[in-house]
Amino acid sequence: MEPLRVLELYSGVGGMHHALRESCIPAQVVAAIDVNTVANEVYKYNFPHTQLLAKTIEGITLEEFDRLSFDMILMSPPCQPFTRDLLIQTIQNCGFQYQEFLLSPTSLGIPNSRLRYFLIAKLQSEPLPFQAPGQVLMEFPKIESVHPQKYTMDVENKIQEKNIEPNISFDSSTQCSGKDAILFKLETAEEIHRKNQQDSDLSVKMLKDFLEDDTDMNQYLLPPKSLLRYALLLDIVQPTCRRSVCFTKGYGSYIEGTGSVLQTAEDVQIENIYKSLTKLSQEEQITKLLMLKLRYFTPKEIANLLGFPPEFGFPEKITVKQRYRLLGNSLNVHVVAKLIKILYE
């Protein structure tokens, strides 16, 4: 059987291409397309022999598409509210069978939470073996014994939920009780319980399995000014934790809501640092917070959590800030590889 000819749209730094390789299906990428020139430099660095087109999809004619003679399209387009409905309507009209998913890397034992929407589709008349029309699968299907209702829930309801976190009060003067009581670092008992549950899930690896040990980490330490301003908003994890939150494009430049930071002083109890922190002077607060030795995850460590292989790298001229931007909100290679394999088989 001839290898599948694959077209990679919105190719970025090549996450889909790496996933295709990991899936081990007989296939080759005949062309990759993206307008981001910095991302294209990284793609070319990792896949020097793949045809890379620096243009928009709209700028490619039907004749050019036909000449590529592709069997499969892989793409990770920018998020748009109307994208899903338009895409589903189009593939239905073209005779495709499809299935939607909402999956997080934690389902594969990776300590990084990133609930993301996926859709796979195949041009055929009969339904996919695990197909559940109008439903979204929350786990990878077991093709040999499929019970769709066990793994599904209503698409619209789940998309609206968007993995909402428990409410957290940001008013330090608020008096709460019970599960909503503020304990420290503006976290409720409910929030801490959820994190403790994640760290107790032995099916998920520890963060230390994804960390670098031969890099100068001083450049990644959080500066005193950032510690003082954002101390109560940081999502702090340790190497033995089994969780981290989604890393966004602003990671390394901004702090609030952009990703977890790593506590490298493992012999320091975070509760002791934050206890009565707001009652101290600014100098005393900085002294205490510096004891945690908090740092950003390096771009390589984020790439590891996203499932990129050890050989993945960046050209030397790509700055740390650019690397963070390119990796931010990226897909997880392992998740996509498994979906490709499921669709192929």
Provide block-wise average pLDDT over 10 residues at a time, the chain (345 residues). 94 97 97 96 98 93 95 87 83 96 95 94 94 91 51 41 35 34 63 88 95 89 94 93 95 92 92 87 94 96 97 97 95 97 93
Q: What is the pLDDT of residue 256?
A: 86
Average predicted confidence (pLDDT) for the chain: 86
Q: What is the pLDDT of residue 55?
A: 92
Tokens 């559940």 belong to residue = 132
Amino acid occupying residue 78: P
Distance CA(116)–CA(239), nearest Å, equals 25
Q: What is the pLDDT of residue 143?
A: 57
Q: What is the pLDDT of residue 244?
A: 96
Give the chain's largest Cα–Cα span: 71
Please say whether the beta carbons of 302 and 331 come within 8 A: no
Provide CB contacts within 8 A for 167, sequence distance 6+. 180, 188
Distances in whole angstroms, Cα of residue 62 to Cα of each of 12, 35, 43, 99: 22, 18, 24, 27
pLDDT (tens digit per residue) in 20-31: 999 999 999 999
Catalytic residues: 79
Q: What is the pLDDT of residue 28?
A: 97
pTM for the full predicted model: 0.86
pLDDT (tens digit per residue) in 163-222: 433 332 223 333 333 344 434 566 778 888 889 899 989 999 999 999 998 778 999 999
Strands 152-154 and 135-137: antiparallel
Distance in angstroms between the alpha carbons of the first and the last residue of the chain: 14
Distance CA(43)–CA(58), nearest Å, equals 21
Q: Give the count of beta carbons closer than 10 Å to the beta carbon of residue 91.
A: 16
Strands 187-188 and 182-184: antiparallel
Distance CA(187)–CA(274), nearest Å, equals 11
Amino acid occupying residue 206: M
Tokens found for residue 243 = 């969780």
